[in-house]
Chain A
Amino acid sequence: MSVRLATVAVFAGLAVLGCKGDGSSPAAVGSASQAAKLPSPPADVSLNGSGATFPNPLYQKWVAAYQASEKGVRINYQSVGSGAGIKAISDRTVDFGATDAPMTDDQLGKATGKILHIPTTLGAVVVTYNVKDVPDHLKITPDVLAGIFLGDVKKWNDPRITALNVGVKLPDQAIGVSWRSDGSGTTAVFTDYLCHVSTGFKDKVGSATSVKWPVGSGSKGNDGVTNQIKQTPGSIGYVELAYARQTKLPTMDLRNKAGKFVEASLEAIAAAAAGSLGKIPADMRISIVDAEGQAAYPIAAFTYILVYEDATDAAKAGALAKFLWWGIHDGQKLGGPLHYAALPSEVVSKAEVLLKLLKASGKPLLEGK
Chain B
Amino acid sequence: MPGWRIGNLGDRLFRGIAATFATIIVVVLLVIAVALTQASRETLSAYGFGFVVGQDWNPVEGANEVYGALPFVWGTLVTSFLALALAVPISVGIAVFIAELAPEWIRTPTGFVVELLAAVPSVIYGLWGFFVLRPVLIEHVDPALSRWLGFLPFFRGAPLGNDVLLASVVLAIMILPTISSVSREILRAVPNTLREAALALGATKWEMIRSVVLPYAKSGLTGAVILGLGRALGETMAVTMLVGNKPSMSLSVFEPAATMASIIANQYPEAQGRQHSALTEIGLLLFALTLVLNILARLLVWRVGRLPGDAGRA
Contacts and interface: CB of A to CB of B under 8 A. Distances in A.
Is the pairing of A and B real?
A: yes
Contact of B160 (A81, A176, A185): A176
Nearest to B256: A217
A352 B57 CA distance: 42
A294 interface: no
Contacts of B258: 181
A228 B246 CA distance: 14
Contacts of B245: 181, 217-220
Interface in B245-261: 245-247, 256, 258
B240 A174 contact: no
Interface residues of A, number: 37
A83 B59 contact: no
B130 A220 contact: no
A231 B10 contact: no
A231 B131 contact: yes
A66 interface: no
Contact of B270 (A82, A176, A213): A82
Interface in B6-34: 6-7, 9-10
A207 B58 CA distance: 11
A231 B134 contact: yes
Contacts of A86: 272
Contacts of A228: 161-162
B59 A210 contact: yes
Contact of A220 (B6, B7, B246, B266): B266
A200 B64 CA distance: 14
Interface in B150-208: 158, 160-163
Contacts of B308: none
B240 A212 contact: no
A206 B64 contact: yes
B244 A4 contact: no
Interface in A188-210: 205-210
Contacts of B163: 217
A318 interface: no
Contacts of A4: 6
A184 interface: yes
A210 B161 contact: no
Given A206-B62, A220-B241, A183 B162 contact: no
Nearest to B275: A210
Contact of A183 (B6, B135, B256, B266): B266
Nearest to A212: B58
Nearest to B138: A232
A212 B59 contact: yes
Interface string B61-72: 110100000000
A46 interface: no
B271 A216 contact: no
B267 interface: yes
A300 to B, nearest CB: 20
For the complex of A and B, list the 5 residue pairs with the smallest distance between their C-beta atoms, beginning with the closest: A183-B270, A181-B245, A218-B245, A217-B244, A206-B60
Given A81-B270, A82-B270, 14 more contacts: A1-B3, A83-B270, A83-B271, A84-B269, A174-B158, A208-B61, A212-B59, A212-B60, A217-B245, A219-B241, A220-B245, A228-B162, A231-B131, A231-B134
Interface of A: 1, 3-4, 80-84, 86-87, 107, 174, 176, 181-185, 205-213, 216-220, 224, 227-228, 231-232
